[in-house]
Structure formats: structure tokens, C-alpha cells
Amino acid sequence: MLANLNLRAAIVSVIFLITALGLWQLATAPQALTGAGELSEYEMLMGGASQPSGIPAPSQVFSHAVDELSRPFYDAGPNDKGIGLQLAYSVGRVMAGFGLAVLVAIPLGFVIGMSPVLNKAFNPYIQVLKPISPLAWMPLALFIIKDSNTSAIFVIFICSIWPMLINTAFGVASVRNDWLNVARTLELSKLRTAFTVILPAAAPTILTGMRISVGIAWLVIVAAEMLVGGTGVGYYVWNEWNNLDLASVIFAILMIGIVGMLLDGMLVQVSRFVRYQD
């Protein structure tokens, strides 16, 4: 029955993909030229009628993708790098910013979660800082840090910190009283209680916060790199837009989606280790 379900889902998936690609191909098929031989003023300006139509067909995107993926790590100067290299820059920035945020958010969330006073005291600040678009920090970051790459990492840090902080504090604060009483009757030290009871109890909630954070970080890095420029997949998209190379843009969009999915998938794997059934 399960195999049957998977099979049926796969069939629906494939049908959907074929239909979508077919419609895309049809919509971008070169139209029969009206009045053959006559070029519009724009076409003459652009050097003839051999210009490809605006949006590339899926077949073009596919052949472009094969070409790009066959040499992902080439580096032919600042404006011509392989997609693998660009993604590596972006992933590197996300990891740096996200990693720093983990180091700050989880210990801080722990302290806030364990202390009702700090919880109440910090809550207004968290509520104000959380909804700020991370890109709004960019000018300030650029001015203070004076380095575009570090500023991008800072922006990732600031956007990743809130979901993890809030989830950690919530997870720690809602550890079941029974479990804490077990620790108390066994006279465990505060530190041992934190590591052997509270941390494992709150781990699934913390991991959920980390998943939300890494998702936001990956959304934000593309926009941040469009601003700071230089390297990264966000810069790549913007650069190809300036080149009017839409096949590259579409290809890059797909790659952003796939890498985002992989980042989330990694944390899903981690969360399997800490999940428990109550």
C-alpha cells in the first residue's frame, strides 16, 4: 500500500513536471515573424533578427545547466566564475553567520529560558529586533565594519539569531516539571541538570529554531550579495541579469532552491538524533 502510494505520487509529480515544462516551452517558442525580412527599429539596433526571444525555453536552460554543471569550479576573473564556486561563497557566508548565531543564541536562550526574570526583561527587545528586515542593518554594518564580506556575514548572523533564541528559550522554559523534579531528587548540580535533562528535553525545539534560522539565512544571503557584490550566488544572479543572460538567471534560481533544500535536509538529519517520542 505504501509502495503503491509512493508510486502514485511519483506519477502525479512527473505529469505535473512535464505539463509545466511543456507550457513553458510553448510559451517561449519563437513566434512566426510578421512581415518577414522587415526588422523593427529595435531589432536593427540589437544587430538583427537572430536575437533569441526574451525568456529562454526550458531546453535552453537545460543545455546551459549541463554546460555550467560540467565545470562548476572554474574561475575566469571577477565576473566569470563557476556556479559551484559562487554557491560555495554563499554557503560559506551563511555557515559563518549562522555558526556565530548558534554560539550566541543557544547559550543566551538557555539563560533566558531558565530565568523567568530575564525572560520578561529581554522579551520586549527581542520582539522589537525580530521583525527588522536584516537588510536594514546593511548600511550600519557597512559603515561600522567597513568590509562588505564581513557585513554580509553580520547580516546573516542578525537574521539567524532570533528564531534560535526564541525557540531555545521556549524549549528550555517548557521542560516538564516532572523531569526537573527527577533531577532535583537526585541532587544533580545545576550544570548537570542543564546538560543531562534540560538540553535533551529542549533539543527538538532548538533544532526547529535552527531550521527556521538557516532557511531565513539562505533567503537573506541572496539579497545581501546583490547589495555587496563581488562573489556569491546573489551577485551571480544580479550579474547575469545585467548581462541579460536569463538562462543563467533561471539556472541560478533552481540551484538556490536545491541548495536551500539540502541545508534544511542536513538539519533534519541532525534532528533525528535528538528527537524523542513522549
- What is the nearest approach in angstroms of another protein to the Cβ of residue 185? 5
Burial class (CB in 10 A: 0-12, 13-18, 19+), 43: middle
- What is the nearest approach in angstroms of another protein to the Cβ of residue 206? 13
Q: Which is nearer to another protein, 130 or 176 (CB)?
A: 176
- What is the nearest approach in angstroms of another protein to the Cβ of residue 177? 9
Q: Which is nearer to another protein, 185 or 242 (CB)?
A: 185
Q: What is the DSSP string of 162-209?
A: HHHHHHHHHHHHTS-HHHHHHHHHTT--HHHHIIIIIHHHHHHHHHHH
Q: Which is nearer to another protein, 41 or 187 (CB)?
A: 187
Question: Amino acid identity, residue 45?
Answer: L
d(C-alpha 170, C-alpha 156), whole Å: 22
- What is the nearest approach in angstroms of another protein to the Cβ of residue 173? 18
Q: Which is nearer to another protein, 42 or 273 (CB)?
A: 273
Q: Which is nearer to another protein, 197 or 249 (CB)?
A: 197
- Longest Cα–Cα distance of the chain, Å, equals 92
> Do residues 214 and 261 touch, judged by C-beta distance below 8 A?
no
- What is the nearest approach in angstroms of another protein to the Cβ of residue 163? 23
Q: Which is nearer to another protein, 203 or 233 (CB)?
A: 203
Q: Which is nearer to another protein, 141 or 199 (CB)?
A: 199
- What is the nearest approach in angstroms of another protein to the Cβ of residue 195? 12
Question: Nearest to residue 138, comparing CAs of 160, 163, 156, 165?
Answer: 156
Measured in whole angstroms, the distance separating CA 79 from the mean position of its chain's CA atoms is 23
Positions that interact with another protein (CB under 8 A): 176, 178-179, 181-182, 184-188, 192, 196-197, 200-201, 203, 274, 276-278
d(C-alpha 165, C-alpha 113), whole Å: 9
- What is the nearest approach in angstroms of another protein to the Cβ of residue 238? 46
Per-residue b or e along 229-267, where b marks 16 or more CB atoms closer than 10 Å to that residue's CB: eebbbbbbbbbbeeeeebbbbbbbeebbeebbeebeeeb
d(C-alpha 10, C-alpha 230), whole Å: 40
